[in-house]
Structure 1
Amino acid sequence: MPIELIGMIGTRKLSELDGPTVSITGGSIDPAYVRQFAQAHENAGFDRVLVGYGSTGPDGLTVASFAAAATDRLKFLIAHRPGFVNPTLFARKAATLDHFTSGRIAVHIITGGSDAEQQRDGDWLDHDTRYRRTDEYLEIVKRVWTSDTPFDYEGEFYRVKDAFSDVKPVQQPHIPLYFGGASGAAVPVGAKHSDVYAMWGEPIAAVKERIAEVKAAAPPGRSPKFSVSLRPILGDTEAKAWERARSILSRIKEIRSGTTGNQPVSARPQAVGSHRLLQFAQESEIHDKRLWTPIAAATGAYGNTTALVGTPEQVAESLVDYYDAGVTTILIRGFDPLADAIAYGRDVIPLVRDEVQRREQQAPVFA
C-alpha cells in the first residue's frame, strides 16, 4: 500500500484525561478491553497498531500475542528498548511470535530518552552511549534473523560465540524495524538500521528537514521510509472540533494543576523530540493548517502530543499533506482512545486512502 495507517492499543480503558501520569503504555490489564480495542482497530481499517513500552507497563510481546489471537488481519508494531534482553534471545522471541501471528509483527526500537525510565530497569548508561549499544544490538538481531550459519560477534557491549537461531522470521529478509529518536546520536543509528524512521507530529517544514537529515545519514543503498505520529481531534464542524480541543486542554491543565487531588507533575523532559515539540509550541499555537501545540506545552511533550483539529475532511487533508512531504506511515490516536479509533476508521481513514490512491494514479510513470 502507498500509505500505512497505524493506531495504538493499551491494556485498559484510560488516557491522559484520567490522570497526570497516566499513559497508554502502562497500568493494569483488562483482557476483554484489549480484545475489543484490537478488534475495533481491525474493523476500522487500520493496517497496524503500536503496542507501547514503559518501564512499569505490561510486556509488549505478550500483549501483541493476545491481541493477534483476537484478530485476523491487523498487524502489530511492538515497541522494544534494547539493553534489557540479550539480542540473541530477543531475536528468537520475535521470530517465534512472527510465526504464531503469520508474519503480522514489526518491532519499534526506542532506545530511551529518559534516564529515570532506564534506571527503573537497571540501566545507568548515558544517552549517547545507549545509542551505541542499540547499534550493536540491532547488528546482532538482524544477523540472528538472517544468518544461515553460526557467527561470532565482539563489540563494546556484546560478545557472542556461535550465535544462531533455528527459527527464522516468516517475513523476509527480516521482521520490519521501525526506529524513533530525534537526537544527533539517534539519527545515524536509525538511518543505518530502520525500515521506517518514526517522528512525532512536527510542522511540515520540520518534517521535510528531518527526512533529508536521515536520508543524508543513511549508508549507500539504504532508503528508509518515514512515519509521523499525531493526535486528531474531530468535530462535525470546525467550531465543534475546536470546542472539543479546548475542553481536552482544559481537563489536562486541571489535572496537572493538582485541582483534582493529584500532585502537580514536572514538565521537564529529557528527550530531544520532546524539546523540539516544546519549541514549536513556544513559537506558535497553530502551525501549518491545523497542527495544534498547546497540549504538548501543557504536558511537557512527553510523547506524541501534537493534535490536528478540524472536521474529518480537514484532518484528512492535513494527513495527506504529510504524505506529500514524504511520509508513508501515519500513526493516529485519540484522547478517547477506543471511540476515537472507531471514528477515525469511519470518517478519516477512507478519505486519506482515497486521496492517496488518487495521487498515486495521477503520478507520472517514467520508462
Structure 2
Amino acid sequence: MPVEFIGYVSAREQSEIFAPEGPEIDPAYIGATALLHERAGFDRALVAFHANSPESILIAQHAASVTTRLGLLVAHRPGFTAPTLAARQFATLDHLSRGRVAVHIITGGNDIELQADGDNLTKADRYARTAEYLSILKREWSSAAPFDHDGRFYRIRGAHSAVRPYRPEGIPIYFGGASDEAIAVAAEYADGYALWGETLGGVGELVQRVKREAAHYGRKPRFSVSFRPIIADTEAEAWARAEQLEAEILARQRASGTLAGIALDTAGNTPTPDNLPTNAGSRRLQALSAQGDRHDTRLWTGVARATGGRWNSTSLVGTAEQVAQSLLDYYRIGVETFLIRGFDPLQDAQRYGRDLIPLVRALIEEEDSRRQVA
C-alpha cells in the first residue's frame, strides 16, 4: 500500500522555538511553505484550525493557488458553519484545486477554547452533533435530488448542491480524537483516522480498536500517526538536538510565564494535573511522558511533557536511516499515513524531503514486495 506523507502549512512562521513575527497572515510565507512541501515530495499539507487562528479554508485556497500537485488537508471544526454550506465550500475548493482537498474533522476537546466561539455543548453532545454534521455533509456531496433532514441539531428542507466533489470518489474525511465518543464517530464516517505519536503498542491498540468498530459499518479507514522527527547526521547529534529543543522550549515558557497557554505558578513551575489539557489524546501523551522520556527504540516525549501533551509533540530521534526504520515499524502495524513537521518548520521540511521521505518510501516498497512473494 502506498505510504502518504502530510506536512504542515501555517499562516506565518512560528513554532515552539520561534515566536511569531510580522503580520498574522503572510501570503509569501504560505506560498513558499506550500511550494517547499510540494517539491520535497509531501503528498499533502495540513492547515490547522484554532479558535483564534486565521480561517483554514482560505489559507488552504492560497496554498492551492501556488501549487499544482500538493494536496491540502484542511482542519475543520463542525458546528460553526451549516453542514450544507461547508459541503459547498469544500467542494468549491476541491474544484479550484482540481481534486486536492481533504478535510480533517476536529470536534474539539478544550471547553474553554470552544466557548470563545460560543459553543457551550458538552463533549458528548459535540460528538453527537459531529456525527449528524458528517451525515449531512456526505449527503450534500452525493445526493442527486433535494433532500430533507430532521435531526437533533439540524432541520433542513430541500438541500441540494450544484457543486459536487471534483473526483467521483469524493473528498476524503480524516478524523482526530481518542475518546470513546470520537472513535465511534470515526468508525462510521472517517476515511482516515489520525492519532498523535505514541508507542508501537499504544498505536497498535487504537488501530485495532478502530478497525473493529469500523467493521460494523463495512468500512476500512486508513490510519495516520503524527510525529515531530528530529534527525541529524549521527544519533548522538540527534539526541543532543532533542535535549537542546526541550531546554529552549522550557526557557521560553518561563520567560513568558506560560506553559502551552497555561499560566505557571509564581515559582515558574509547571501546572498541576488539574490545569493540564483534559482531552483523551492529551491525557494519553501526559501518561506516556510521565513514564519517562524515551520509549521503544527512539520515541521521545520530552516536548510532550514540556507542553502538557496539548498537541502533536512526540518525536522520533536519530539519523534519517534510524527514523525511517521506526516509521517502517509503524507501517507494519497498519499505519499508512505519516504527518511529520519539525520544530524549525522550513529547514526541517526540506530535510525530511531530502533525507527521510525517500528512505521510507523505499523501505515500504521493499516491504510490500516481500509480502507479495510470501
Q: Is TM-score (shorter-chain normalized) higher than 0.5?
A: yes
Of the structure 1 ranges 9-18 and 151-160, higher mean CA displacement relative to structure 2 is found in: 9-18
| Counterpart residue number, 2:268 | none
| Counterpart residue number, 1:67 | 63
| Counterpart residue number, 1:327 | 335
| Counterpart residue number, 1:197 | 193
Amino acid corresponding to residue 73 of structure 1 in structure 2: R
Deviation at 1:18, TM superposition (A): 2.8
Deviation at 1:117, TM superposition (A): 1.3
Give matches, 1:20-169, under 5 Å. Answer: 28-169=24-165
CA distance in 2, matches of 1:66, 1:157: 32
Amino acid corresponding to residue 354 of structure 2 in structure 1: R
SS in 2 for 1:255: helix
| Counterpart residue number, 2:11 | 11
CA distance in 2, matches of 1:107, 1:198: 12
CA distance in 2, matches of 1:127, 1:82: 13
CA distance in 1, matches of 2:178, 2:7: 21
| Counterpart residue number, 2:314 | 306
Deviation at 1:271, TM superposition (A): 1.2
Identify the match of residue 278 of structure 2 among 252, 255, 270.
270
User: Is contact 2:147-2:158 (8 Å) kept?
Assistant: yes
Instruction: Summarize deviations over 1:72-123 as a string: whole Å, max 9, x none.
Output: 1100000000000000000000001110000000000000010111111110
Amino acid corresponding to residue 256 of structure 1 in structure 2: Q
CA distance in 1, matches of 2:113, 2:258: 19
| Counterpart residue number, 1:244 | 241
| Counterpart residue number, 1:233 | 230
SS in 2 for 1:212: helix
Q: Is 1:173 aligned with 2:181?
A: no
Amino acid corresponding to residue 236 of structure 1 in structure 2: D
Unaligned runs of 5+ in 2: 263-270
User: Is contact 1:232-1:308 (8 Å) kept?
Assistant: yes
Amino acid corresponding to residue 47 of structure 1 in structure 2: D
SS in 2 for 1:214: helix
SS in 2 for 1:17: coil
CA distance in 2, matches of 1:250, 1:87: 44
Amino acid corresponding to residue 243 of structure 1 in structure 2: A
CA distance in 1, matches of 2:244, 2:293: 16
Deviation at 1:235, TM superposition (A): 1.0
User: Is contact 1:35-1:70 (8 Å) kept?
Assistant: yes
Q: Identity percentage over the alignment?
A: 50
| Counterpart residue number, 2:324 | 316
CA distance in 1, matches of 2:278, 2:290: 17
CA distance in 1, matches of 2:341, 2:301: 16
User: Is contact 2:187-2:217 (8 Å) kept?
Assistant: no
User: Is contact 1:42-1:74 (8 Å) kept?
Assistant: yes
TM-score (norm 2): 0.93
Deviation at 1:262, TM superposition (A): 4.5
Q: Is 1:210 aligned with 2:233?
A: no
Amino acid corresponding to residue 78 of structure 1 in structure 2: V
Amino acid corresponding to residue 307 of structure 1 in structure 2: S
User: Is contact 2:226-2:338 (8 Å) kept?
Assistant: yes
CA distance in 1, matches of 2:244, 2:217: 48
Q: Is 1:344 aligned with 2:349?
A: no
Amino acid corresponding to residue 352 of structure 2 in structure 1: Y
Identify the match of residue 221 of structure 1 among 204, 218, 233.
218
Deviation at 1:220, TM superposition (A): 3.2
SS in 1 for 2:149: strand
SS in 1 for 2:17: helix
TM-score (norm 1): 0.95
Identify the match of residue 253 of structure 2 among 246, 251, 256.
256
CA distance in 1, matches of 2:173, 2:352: 25
CA distance in 1, matches of 2:282, 2:57: 26
CA distance in 2, matches of 1:147, 1:125: 30
Deviation at 1:263, TM superposition (A): 4.4
Amino acid corresponding to residue 296 of structure 1 in structure 2: A
Instruction: Summarize deviations over 1:268-304 as a string: whole Å, max 9, x none.
Output: 1021100001101111211111000111011011110
CA distance in 2, matches of 1:74, 1:297: 33
User: Is contact 1:146-1:173 (8 Å) kept?
Assistant: no
Of the structure 1 ranges 340-349 and 234-243, higher mean CA displacement relative to structure 2 is found in: 234-243
SS in 2 for 1:363: helix
User: Is contact 1:225-1:327 (8 Å) kept?
Assistant: yes
User: Is contact 2:188-2:217 (8 Å) kept?
Assistant: no
User: Is contact 2:149-2:157 (8 Å) kept?
Assistant: yes
User: Is contact 2:38-2:67 (8 Å) kept?
Assistant: yes
CA distance in 2, matches of 1:106, 1:13: 23
Unaligned runs of 5+ in 1: none
CA distance in 2, matches of 1:365, 1:136: 44
CA distance in 1, matches of 2:358, 2:163: 38
Amino acid corresponding to residue 293 of structure 2 in structure 1: E
Q: Which runs of 4+ in 1 moved over 6 A?
A: none
Deviation at 1:365, TM superposition (A): 6.4
